[in-house]
């Protein structure tokens, strides 16, 4: 079985600075994979590289066995990879309903058609409403997305990300800036909406990581120093030295 995502010797330099220094990583189809690491380790950069936002200095990236190294974000998305952003990235002036519906259009094969009206397409509107139901924003559907509360915007962000039905979902710090109870809700939501799909997430909250992830990779200074099951990573000496030791206390609190 092919891996959902394969990275081979991926590098990224900004000017003379090496941010990603040769990453080889396989994300298995259907697993929930978390990428952790200290601030500035390059986690978001790695996300941008995979999703096509940044060009790669070297290396290859394969999505379901097909090379996507040189493709544009929209092309990669059409091949079945969808991502969210660390800083909320929605369509602020469109209604919540429309945000999700825009997330659906391409995947439901509407493309740039100008001979069909979105309001007459039953399947499209029902699918959008179902997703809103899933992310708990059904009663907010007519508000402009820009006026939602922060946690609601984060939920909408996830909603847009999963709407297209991509089989690889990448979430960049989905619980950042949330309270305890909000975090629990989001973890629940992620578990539900990624059922049967591959999930790659960057996350700082160790509780969330150990709760959700099947496997964990630890990224430090642009290199993966360990990959394995939560137990293996927790037990790894290198990880404890480089990173985990400093946050284990807060992690255990949540566990």
Alpha-carbon distance 58 to 44, whole Å? Answer: 17
Q: Which of 142, 5, 8, 146 is nearest to 83 (CA)?
A: 5
* 114 or 253: CB nearest other proteins: 114
Does 207 contact other proteins by CB under 8 A?
Answer: no
* 93 or 237: CB nearest other proteins: 93
Does 221 contact other proteins by CB under 8 A?
Answer: no
Q: Specify the 3-state DSSP secondary structure of 184.
A: helix
Does 192 contact other proteins by CB under 8 A?
Answer: no
What is the token pair recorded at 153?
A: 């915007």
Please report, as residue ranges, which positions from 20 to 59 form the binding site for other proteins (by CB under 8 A): 51, 53
Looking only at the bridges linking them, the beta strands covering 66-67 and 223-228 are: unpaired
Looking only at the bridges linking them, the beta strands covering 198-202 and 215-220 are: unpaired
Going residue by residue from 59 to 98, which x/- string records binding to other proteins, judged by CB under 8 A? -------------xxx--xx---xx-x---xxxxxx--xx
What is the token pair recorded at 137?
A: 């924003």
Please report, as residue ranges, which positions from 103 to 142 form the binding site for other proteins (by CB under 8 A): 103, 105-107, 110-120, 122, 125-126, 128-130, 132-133, 138, 141
* 104 or 218: CB nearest other proteins: 104
Residue 72: φ, ψ to 5°: -80, 160
Alpha-carbon distance 176 to 86, whole Å? Answer: 8
Does 169 contact other proteins by CB under 8 A?
Answer: no
What is the token pair recorded at 5?
A: 């995502």
Smallest distance from other proteins to CB 51, Å: 7
Alpha-carbon distance 230 to 228, whole Å? Answer: 6
Smallest distance from other proteins to CB 161, Å: 8
Q: Which residues bind other proteins (CB under 8 A)?
A: 51, 53, 72-74, 77-78, 82-83, 85, 89-94, 97-98, 101-103, 105-107, 110-120, 122, 125-126, 128-130, 132-133, 138, 141, 160, 163-164
């Amino acid at each position: 079985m092919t891996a959902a995502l394969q990275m081979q010797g991926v590098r990224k330099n900004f000017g003379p600075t090496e941010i990603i220094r040769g990453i080889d990583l396989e994300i298995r189809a259907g697993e929930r994979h978390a990428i952790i690491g200290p601030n500035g380790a390059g986690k978001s950069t790695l996300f941008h590289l995979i999703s096509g936002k940044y060009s790669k200095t070297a290396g290859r990236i394969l999505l379901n066995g097909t090379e996507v190294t040189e493709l544009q974000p929209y092309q990669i998305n059409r091949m079945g990879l969808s991502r969210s952003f660390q800083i909320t990235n929605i369509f602020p002036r469109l209604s919540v309903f429309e945000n999700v519906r825009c997330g659906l259009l391409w995947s439901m094969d509407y493309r740039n058609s100008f001979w069909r009206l979105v309001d007459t397409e039953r399947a499209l509107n029902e699918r959008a409403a179902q997703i809103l139901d899933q992310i708990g924003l059904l009663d907010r559907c007519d508000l402009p997305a820009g006026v939602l509360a922060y946690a609601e915007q984060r939920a909408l962000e996830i909603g847009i990300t999963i709407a297209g039905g991509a089989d690889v979902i990448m979430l960049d710090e989905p619980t950042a800036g949330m309270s305890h109870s909000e975090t629990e809700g989001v973890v629940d939501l992620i578990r539900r909406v990624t059922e049967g799909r591959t999930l790659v997430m960057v996350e700082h909250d160790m509780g969330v990581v150990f709760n959700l992830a099947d496997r964990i990779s630890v990224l430090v200074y642009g290199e993966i120093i360990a990959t394995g099951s939560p137990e293996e990573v927790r037990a790894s000496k290198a990880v404890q030295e480089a990173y985990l030791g400093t946050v284990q206390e807060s992690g255990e609190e949540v566990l």
